[in-house]
Amino acid sequence: MQSLQAQRRANLARLLNPRHIAFLGGERAGAAIRACRDAGYQGRMLAVHPRRGEIEGVACVPTLKDLPVAPDAVFLGVPATATVESLATLRDMGAGGAVCYASGFAEMGEKGAALNAALLQATGGMAVVGPNCFGIINYVNHGSLWSVPYPAGTLGGRGAAVIGQSGNVCINLSMNQRQVPFSWIISAGNQAVLGFEDYIDHLVDDPNVTCIGLFMEGIRDVPAFSAACLKALAKGIPVVAFRVGVSELGARLAASHTSSLAGQNELYDALFERLGVMNTASVPQFLELLKTASLAPLPKGRRLTVFSSSGGDNGMAADYASAAGLAMPQPNERQRAAVKALLPDYGHVSNPLDFTAGYWGAEKLLTPMFTDMLAEGSDFGLLVIDHPRPELGPENGKALESMSRALATASKATGVPGAVACVNPESQPEFMRQYLIDMGLLPLQGLHDAGAVLGHWASHAELRRAIAAAGLPVPPLALAPLPAGQAVTLDEVESKARLAACGLPVPAGQVAGLADLARVAAAMPGVLALKAVSSALPHKTEAGAVALNLADAGAVVAAARRMQAAVAAYKPGLAVDRFLVEPMAPKPVAELLVGVKRDPLFGLVLVIASGGVLVELLQDAARLLLPAGEAEIEAALKRLKVWNLLQGFRGRPAGDVAAVVKAIRAVAAYAEAQADRLLELDVNPLLVLPAGQGAVAVDALIVEQG
């Protein structure tokens, strides 16, 4: 027998391509009928109302049980309690699914919790959207369950499928003036039944879907979401996200630096990076990237060639391209000679290319110029032009059409994709956008967003090539909830011993009581470090429980006595009687923090940061979701500001990066092996020694479930 989730996903196909739709309610149902009819739905429409004979010309039956067929889709425009009752009836009838417009469920907190539980019970195996949502715009067969007028699609039902947690934002997306093609827009609401993972899993198999857009506040099930996004990657369907409502996730554990560096925003970033989800910074950028993913081929690299007749436009284009990680290689000698012969004497050949105001609209001159520039060393061509206001007369736009044709011809001749971007987002009217699309060019609105979008698109192309060569990324670890129990903090000695067993280099130290300290210290060569050993002292420096650069056994014993007094003052009642003596490590190139945090939503999070006492002040950190391999760890290190130190900053020695990567991987290996009990872990600092000399962890803290 199928699970409820499997039944719901199967019924989602009926809901999104309905043969018949039932509308239940009053004015809201009438508005939904009008929207569905105006869009051109050709299936059967049914209406239910206990007192009306018809709604918007559709004959009514008094109850759902009086319907002549179990409908594929139902629009429930009734209050919350009636919604639950209706779902139970529809479930028993064998309906496919429903949109629940009503609010008053989980978004009301404890007040709506009972009603939300009743809704789940009533749903059974139906595919239910919402509650607290606007519903579905269906551009494919026009069987929409949507009570607001919306414009027609631009590519005959083929395009981006958008799932959004905000109904109003979904309305606004449908009204965009950017020529974004859509297949479906789904206002998911509370996601009580169907979540992002269910919609993605279904939509990536539909040939009408070019990409998937997610307007989200949060994810309810990271493992299921990860599986769906990896399925999209395998199918070659890009996923684009714009997330709002950013805030810290969960309480921080006071013992850990790592927890303070692993906030919600950073964990979403780490998840999206792992899954290949393109994360956008604004609604306009979100729309532009959906358009790009629907209309533009994947570029072969990150090299961009820009054309305009304005030094200002070219300067902005260069800035935005650089910020997006795009390369703008200069033309070679052959290109310089060929293009120079086409320019006026005062023209200068470069990338970006200023083809001068004198050549504005000169299609015959610009076509070979653009072709020569794109023929070598370019993966994408971008023409920057702003359209004059249409009311000034059609003749003012003819030159822009000529220049666009020149780029289109050059793009086809060289096989290099082309786009036309305007500096001002509003300076590309609809007829011009459609003209560009018809010529095979990508219309982009807003030069800043154009740069960001092309950067995202190039990165996605790189990811797809990497997947073709090495396979899909590994999903994050799915963690089972921990059983009830007390958190147990291991002292430094035990923490280091466990991590050393997984390959983490630690100093060769010994533990002794006060009576044996002199003997132990005398047997160790060189300058020494001394630490009080106690699981009650996670931050020993603050308690005065660390002493460095001790020259001999006498200095060690004296330091130990001072520690006992300092700890007693710092934490009254705590008596320290065990001490760790270690040889001082060589002077490091840099200090790192390596930590692992257990997050209830994201699983085990590896944090790599600039370490030492300034860790929280510097906030120079990268996050990876476990499991993570050495290549991912090295890539994360390169994102840190401290990477410059590891490479040898201003004549200083370079760090032993290979040893650091292996040390961090050892920490990750321990965490992965202890995933069923580990709460958090700190190695701070991990000392990075000069190249060839390794790395050493001089302090460690492990907290686990007892």
- Residue in the structure block whose two tokens are 């297949």: 183
pLDDT for res 1: 66
576 and 600 share one domain = no
459 and 513 share one domain = no
What is the CATH classification number for the domain harbouring 365? Answer: 3.40.50.261
Straight-line distance from the first to the last Cα atom of the chain, in angstroms, rounded to the nearest whole number: 39
Token couple for 238: 């890009």
What is the CATH classification number for the domain harbouring 612? Answer: 3.30.470.20
d(CA 52, CA 143): 23
Check whether 252 has a pLDDT greater than 60.
Answer: no
d(CA 565, CA 563): 5
Confidence of residue 481 (pLDDT cuts 50, 70, 90): confident
- Pick the closest to residue 48 from 61, 58, 39 (CA basis): 61
524 and 648 share one domain = no
692 and 599 share one domain = yes
pLDDT for res 651: 81
Q: pLDDT digit string (tens) for 353-372?
A: 999 998 999 999 999 999 99
DSSP 145: B
104 and 182 share one domain = yes
- Give the side-chain half-sphere CA count within 13 A for 82: 15
pLDDT for res 538: 83
Confidence of residue 233 (pLDDT cuts 50, 70, 90): very high
d(CA 122, CA 92): 9
Q: In the chain, what percentage of residues exceed pLDDT 70?
A: 96
Residue 696 CB coordination number (10 Å) = 21
Token couple for 702: 């492990």
d(CA 691, CA 536): 36
448 and 521 share one domain = no
567 and 610 share one domain = no
d(CA 186, CA 166): 10
Question: Is residue 596 included in any domain, yes or no?
Answer: yes
Confidence of residue 612 (pLDDT cuts 50, 70, 90): low
Q: What is the pTM of this model?
A: 0.91
d(CA 608, CA 671): 14
Is the distance from CB of 633 to CB of 646 less than 8 angstroms?
no
pLDDT for res 54: 96
Question: Is residue 476 included in any domain, yes or no?
Answer: no
Check whether 565 has a pLDDT greater than 80.
Answer: yes
Q: pLDDT digit string (tens) for 292-349?
A: 999 999 999 999 999 999 999 999 999 999 999 999 999 999 999 999 999 998 889 9
- Residue in the structure block whose two tokens are 């200068």: 348
pLDDT for res 251: 32
* H runs (alpha helix) in 573-614: none
Confidence of residue 249 (pLDDT cuts 50, 70, 90): very low
- Pick the closest to residue 432 from 474, 470, 388, 471 (CA basis): 388
Number of domains in the chain: 4
Is the distance from CB of 320 to CB of 210 less than 8 angstroms?
no
416 and 460 share one domain = yes
CA distances from 291 to 178, 179, 394 (A): 8, 7, 26
Question: Is residue 475 included in any domain, yes or no?
Answer: no
pLDDT for res 699: 94
Last residue of a domain, one of 249, 278, 293: 293
pLDDT for res 482: 87
Question: Is residue 496 included in any domain, yes or no?
Answer: no
Is the distance from CB of 70 to CB of 104 less than 8 angstroms?
no
Q: pLDDT digit string (tens) for 51-107?
A: 999 999 999 999 999 999 999 999 999 999 999 999 999 999 999 999 999 998 888
Residue 128 CB coordination number (10 Å) = 30
3-state secondary structure of 136: strand
Interior/surface letters 202-240, b for 16+ CB within 10 angstroms, e for the rest: bbbebebbbbbbbbbebbebbbbbbbbbbbbbeeebbbb
Strand pairing report for 239-243 and 209-216 = parallel
Run of H or E including 631:
helix 630-638
d(CA 630, CA 429): 49
d(CA 529, CA 58): 85
pLDDT for res 425: 95
Question: Is residue 210 included in any domain, yes or no?
Answer: yes
Is the distance from CB of 272 to CB of 218 less than 8 angstroms?
no
Last residue of a domain, one of 269, 293, 317: 293
pLDDT for res 611: 82
Last residue of a domain, one of 229, 260, 293: 293
pLDDT for res 658: 98
d(CA 94, CA 76): 16
555 and 656 share one domain = no
**53: which residues sit within 8 A by CB, 6+ positions away?**
59, 60
Host domain of residue 396 = 297-470
Confidence of residue 608 (pLDDT cuts 50, 70, 90): very high
- Residue in the structure block whose two tokens are 């010529």: 439
348 and 410 share one domain = yes
pLDDT for res 613: 58
Give CA angle at 517 (515, 522), nearest 5°: 130
CA distances from 18 to 140, 142, 609 (A): 11, 9, 52
208 and 302 share one domain = no
Residue 19 CB coordination number (10 Å) = 15
DSSP 189: T
Token couple for 177: 């003036």
d(CA 505, CA 594): 13
Q: pLDDT digit string (tens) for 38-51?
A: 999 999 999 999 99
**Single-letter code of the amino acid located at 599:** D
- Length of the chain as a residue count: 706
d(CA 102, CA 601): 28
- Residue in the structure block whose two tokens are 């129990």: 485
Is the distance from CB of 292 to CB of 442 less than 8 angstroms?
yes
Question: Is residue 43 included in any domain, yes or no?
Answer: yes
pLDDT for res 112: 86
Q: For the chain, how big is the Rg over CA atoms in Å?
A: 31
Q: pLDDT digit string (tens) for 133-183?
A: 999 999 999 999 999 999 998 888 999 999 999 999 999 999 999 999 999
> What value does the mean pLDDT take over residues 209-238?
96
Question: Is residue 503 included in any domain, yes or no?
Answer: no
Question: Is residue 700 included in any domain, yes or no?
Answer: yes
**371: which residues sit within 8 A by CB, 6+ positions away?**
409, 410, 413, 414
396 and 541 share one domain = no
CA distances from 139 to 159, 160, 181, 325, 532 (A): 9, 10, 9, 35, 68
pLDDT for res 438: 97
Tell me the torsion sign for CA atoms 187, 189, 191, 194.
negative
pLDDT for res 10: 95
Is the distance from CB of 411 to CB of 375 less than 8 angstroms?
no
Q: In the chain, what percentage of residues exceed pLDDT 90?
A: 87
